[in-house]
Structure 1
């Protein structure tokens, strides 16, 4: 009985001594916030005090209660208490400005920091030697706060995870990283608070260089999430994230490389960071990945991501020249022919950006067979996805614009037939892309307008005149107007009575079609210059729509009536022209 009472008394004493030490530390942290001088030094001291509190709080209850039974722990606590007493005295002097000299106070604060840092290391060694943060019975983890948790609760939880990052064994570090990734992906409050905690970003940077693949991959997931916030990209780059990301690209696991490219994609969205990536050999590493030309799902995804990062980098002219000299153009064209959709799409996007605003590079792409390869993507007999085809149409428009020679070469590769096919048979998204391509194409030359009229584009344009999408209706009407300007197309168009009737029906003054009415009236106006067109308009039961608009003083309608009111047809029109 006496022995039990003695043990109980020892336990209470040890617990009280530990609690007293933690109370002193908390008081010192609170007091240090009142210091107006040497703020940077007090900030780093506070970071060490936070670490000590987190470590002490993570100790199992039975260890906390019997601290005196562990000479090593007891000695560490005693040392912490002495340093805390000294620090409290220095904090008071800083608040009262009663110190004897700045240099001496700076020196004293540096000594305090070193002592607290030494205590952190001693506590870490004690915990590791006792196996307290292993997967054994002592692996106690602070519970994740509920969704309604206060800022202080969240901060305490993140600091506890940081403590485990630093002093836990491999499995504990991994578990802490997994928990950290879960909270920052689900709740942005954790991201903001985590980025305010001193040392956390540096620990993540250290993990990026870890030889433990799982630790490295979990750290990459953390950085990928954090780099998605614009306000933290500069901090990550300033802390040195680029160099380890490039090393992972060169030597990491497949997942590590994928995560690294995702991080670099987000970081290089700001062109200011492109130089940093290039300076660390990033462009060469990315070119090597793209050159691998993987067609399997995993490898193709990585190639696509690497191509996407390169697309961000070539916003800098010097880097663009470098990658071109390193053979990125034939490499990209080869990737367009890849069996992997991610690689195809990224390569097409890359070619489009590469060709933008640079006539010399456009020439290199064309000489490497770029036009032929991109048009081949549009071949209905090929196995390319709708998304790849949409991208290809846009890339061809960029690549061939401003060069009638390049545009004419499209004829040789059945570009017109492919566009027409997707206007007739494609999904909604690819139909709109094909419509955009048709609009662009018919603005190039009269020869193309004639070819498009002969191929059968006009009936397809008519179908889009009452599409649900205003953009589609507008492009269709503008394209049709460009086509019917050509006399040969006018004759072909009016051969079908339904074409003219439908146009006149769409300009009904009583219906809300005024947004596209001007284009429709322009088409009808063009048809009045054709004898057959005038006949079809005059014989249409919907001519009254034009007459009504003219009476309402719609200028284009009045011009149409004027054209219809020639001497030859005047007897068919009565009194609607009074200008």
Structure 2
């Protein structure tokens, strides 16, 4: 280690600053008398004057001499000002100026002006960030959970200052600290997006930059966009999507994974999804789906799923060959990938007969049914079932699904034991398909579950699809008899029929009563009357509830027929 007196030791910051100021005091007046290259010297003079003013502000900052970013700037500045002084001497000496050549002198003056601009910008950045007013004892020391917003904001400003001014090591340490902050505290992402320079962070994604810096930058960006709408909006508006797609195309596999993750989160906002096509991103995402790691595949197909909601992009997806890739992912992807692929298929199939036909040509329904029978992950199962439901709009799919006993039995099991979303989709399918009487008898055991679902306020439409599915099953005589034998289901039906119960639209339980009485069974009538259906229907008919009068007539007609029959027999 060199001592303070060692000539190899760098001079103290104050000494460099003094030398720069002394040179400026001499140089600024000297440039006034230069007549050659007047316009260029006018620019240089303005920059030198600006530099002097900024250095005055720097020296007034309490901790300027301790700042690790400023210290390497001062020697570089001193070298630039000395270069300007040399050029000043050449231009004041006409013979020297001529001997150097006009073009060379112009080039030297332009380079000096460029160096000054860059260094002035860095000094201004340091001043604006406020880091020169803080002791270096806290630099890169991440604020704790109890720290104030002001402390967090300063820490972030310091990080981004280092990203813009510092060398590789400064940038690496700053990115490490930023990643640690975002990994441990999601809420900090909004402050990072507000206080940090997003443009600077995005610039580090450039493929021409240093690999280690780019790898850290893409991780930081992926963490930012995954943390909320505001950071995602800021990153997108700074133009991150293009660089991220280039990394997804050309980066190492770990970088491709992080870039694809960021693209998936950015495109989660429909307002951003359109840009994928503008950047030529669909082929890049498809290639990742085909040859990427399992993680990269999952994020890439997630991004495709996101952009499939944009009407103008859907046909482009088909033209680029997305559908065969999606079908293949149903077979070979991870559970997460399979779910996202099925979700994308569901969106495509629900919007266009043309796309449904393409999916069926690629044996999409068969692949989905196979996955449906094998899948055990509820989230993936939900997406697969949605895709099957969307494809059921096709006549071919409708016939296949209606005639599949295995499928009908399985959706009946989901109505009984699935989560609320699986119950909703399964009930919708059961309500819409043309199921044989034999299959309706086979799944009659789910009627009690359908009655419970008729009471559900959420999700929207649950009461209606549950009622429709139940009405379909009640078209079979044996199911009607089984229903009225189930005292709990009958009690639930009466509670829904009660005019005082406002939680359920009365048209649904009224329709169920009418369906039970459709066959004219005396046993069913007795059960309904004994449970209180007659009185409820009378009051509902008086208030003109849809279907109530007709249901009451059926109940009354059967009652009258019973009385007349008994009298005749007697």
Q: TM-score, normalised by structure 1?
A: 0.68
CA deviation map 1:6-55 (0-9, x unaligned): xxxx989759969x99xxxxxxxxxxxxxxxxxxx99xx89x969x9699
- Is 2:378 the counterpart of 1:386? yes
**Aligned mates of 2:395, 2:193 — CA distance in 1:** 54
- Kept in 2, the 8 Å contact 1:164–1:173? The answer is yes
- Kept in 2, the 8 Å contact 1:348–1:392? The answer is yes
Q: Please, which runs of 5 or more residues in structure 2 have no aligned partner?
A: 5-10, 23-45, 86-110, 126-135
Instruction: Give the Å deviation of 1:518.
Output: 3.5
Instruction: Give the Å deviation of 1:215.
Output: 2.0
- Is 2:530 the counterpart of 1:542? yes
- Kept in 2, the 8 Å contact 1:336–1:373? The answer is yes
Change (3 A) 1:204 1:331: closer
1:196-211 aligned within 5 A: 197=197, 201-209=199-207
Change (3 A) 1:545 1:224: same
User: Residue 405 of structure 1 corresponds to which residue in structure 2?
Assistant: 396
Instruction: Give the Å deviation of 1:394.
Output: 0.7
Is the partner of 1:324 in helix, strand or coil? helix
User: Residue 191 of structure 1 corresponds to which residue in structure 2?
Assistant: 192
**Aligned mates of 1:139, 1:527 — CA distance in 2:** 81
Instruction: Give the Å deviation of 1:271.
Output: 5.0
**Aligned mates of 2:14, 2:283 — CA distance in 1:** 63
Change (3 A) 1:177 1:345: same
User: Residue 261 of structure 1 corresponds to which residue in structure 2?
Assistant: 260
User: Residue 104 of structure 1 corresponds to which residue in structure 2?
Assistant: none
- Kept in 1, the 8 Å contact 2:162–2:171? The answer is yes
**Aligned mates of 2:299, 2:237 — CA distance in 1:** 23
Instruction: Give the Å deviation of 1:371.
Output: 0.9
Is the partner of 1:143 in helix, strand or coil? coil
- Kept in 2, the 8 Å contact 1:300–1:340? The answer is yes
Change (3 A) 1:463 1:238: closer
**Aligned mates of 2:250, 2:363 — CA distance in 1:** 34
- Kept in 2, the 8 Å contact 1:528–1:564? The answer is yes
1:162-173 aligned within 5 A: 162-173=160-171
**Aligned mates of 2:564, 2:429 — CA distance in 1:** 42
Is the partner of 2:332 in helix, strand or coil? coil
Q: 1:304 aligns with which of 289, 292, 298?
A: 298
Q: 2:449 aligns with which of 463, 469, 486?
A: 463
**Aligned mates of 1:49, 1:366 — CA distance in 2:** 69
**Aligned mates of 1:250, 1:546 — CA distance in 2:** 70
User: Residue 428 of structure 1 corresponds to which residue in structure 2?
Assistant: 419
**Aligned mates of 1:470, 1:237 — CA distance in 2:** 38
Instruction: Give the Å deviation of 1:416.
Output: 1.4
User: Residue 494 of structure 2 corresponds to which residue in structure 1?
Assistant: 507
CA deviation map 1:94-118 (0-9, x unaligned): xxxxxxxxxxxxxxxx999963533
User: Residue 561 of structure 2 corresponds to which residue in structure 1?
Assistant: 568
Change (3 A) 1:366 1:451: farther
Instruction: Give the Å deviation of 1:372.
Output: 1.1
Change (3 A) 1:171 1:451: farther
1:113-152 aligned within 5 A: 115=116, 117-118=118-119, 141-145=139-143
1:461-500 aligned within 5 A: 461-466=447-452, 469-471=456-458, 475-484=465-474, 486=475, 489-494=476-481, 497-499=484-486
Q: TM-score, normalised by structure 2?
A: 0.69
User: Residue 439 of structure 1 corresponds to which residue in structure 2?
Assistant: 428
Is the partner of 1:308 in helix, strand or coil? helix
Q: Give aligned pairs, total.
A: 477
Q: Please, which runs of 5 or more residues in structure 1 have no aligned partner?
A: 5-9, 22-40, 83-109, 125-137, 574-579
**Aligned mates of 2:177, 2:516 — CA distance in 1:** 70
Instruction: Give the Å deviation of 1:285.
Output: 1.4
- Kept in 2, the 8 Å contact 1:393–1:434? The answer is no
**Aligned mates of 1:53, 1:156 — CA distance in 2:** 18
**Aligned mates of 2:343, 2:69 — CA distance in 1:** 60
